[in-house]
Amino acid sequence: MDRIETKLVFGGEQRRYQHDAATTQCRMTFSVYLPPQVAERKVPVLYWLSGLTCTDENFSTKAGAQRVAAQLGMALVMPDTSPRGEGVPDDPEGAYDFGLGAGFYLNATQAPWSTHYRMYDYVVEELPALVESTLPLDGRRAIAGHSMGGHGALMIALRNPDRYISTSAFSPIVNPAGVPWGRKALGRYLGEDPAAWAAYDTVALVQQTEHHLPLLVDQGTADQFLEEQLKTDRLEAACESSGYPAMIRMHGGYDHSYYFIASFIEDHLRFHYAAITAGQTPPD
């Protein structure tokens, strides 16, 4: 890990790192917020997955999460949204919803994507192993995200309930197998057989899992992508039919932007803190 930047924020440190990743076979950049409590002890961590077109910096600069993370004593780890660099293929038409910035947190099986686009293994295995062996993190993990990253956070947690204590999302793509963004990405990364897509589809996974992690979703009713791409009602129906006790909240008038995330990020951090600490009262 090469540290390339450090900023002081609410008594803690906002850092950026780069490293050569074995999973994606390229140099990856990620951001970390370490709260002031790391001077005295190791702390739990929230992994944050960002959405289409984003990098590791969108959340750290726009969400305003560091203030509450500093109060709670929780670290934040923010990976990039896809592999990047020389030799990493991109959408030949330059579309924003595929290729660079649009890794969809899966392991691609189709050429030319399969060499580098292995964000699932990177987020689940390689990045946690790296940061938790190097930084003062105590091994207690939660995972959250927005839009494409919300899809990633929910899907990864549902597939790995032994690795994460809780999961949450803002405006997630809950049924990628059934919407244009997802069908495009899954079809190209995984091939045209929809049977291969189910492993990366939250609606399908909710109906299959026997493990009920604490799960929170916030969705704005004025989100321009709600009806065509996000389909929150499908997740609500899947949770109801399968008996999964998810907390799904609709917020009147909010859109898809980071203004929405900034408005409710404190709720999410405290939700994860409560799960991680088994309901202990959070500090003021």
Question: Global pTM?
Answer: 0.96
Three-state DSSP state, 259: helix
Reduced to 3 states (helix: H, G, I; strand: E, B; else coil), residue 194 is helix
Residues present in the chain in total: 284
Which residue among 201, 218, 223, 272 is the active-site one? Answer: 223
Q: Return the pLDDT at 76.
A: 98
**Residue numbers in the chain where pLDDT is lower than 70:** 279-284
Domain boundaries, the chain: 2-277
**Active-site option among 147, 166, 168, 171:** 147
Choosing from 146, 256, 268, 272, the catalytic residue is 256
Active site residue 251: no
- The pLDDT score that the predictor gives to residue 280 is 56
Q: Which residues pair with 144 in a beta bridge?
A: 48, 168
pLDDT at 282: 47
Res 283: pLDDT: 52
Q: 165 with 276: CB under 8 angstroms?
A: yes
Tell me how far apart the alpha carbons of residues 4 and 63 are, in angstroms, rounded to a whole number. Answer: 21
146 a catalytic residue:
no
Give the list of residues 6+ apart from residue 7 with CB closer than 8 angstroms, or none.
13, 14, 15
* 256 classed as catalytic: yes
User: In the CATH hierarchy, which top-level class contains the domain 2-277?
Assistant: alpha beta
Contact 160, 142 (CB under 8 A): no
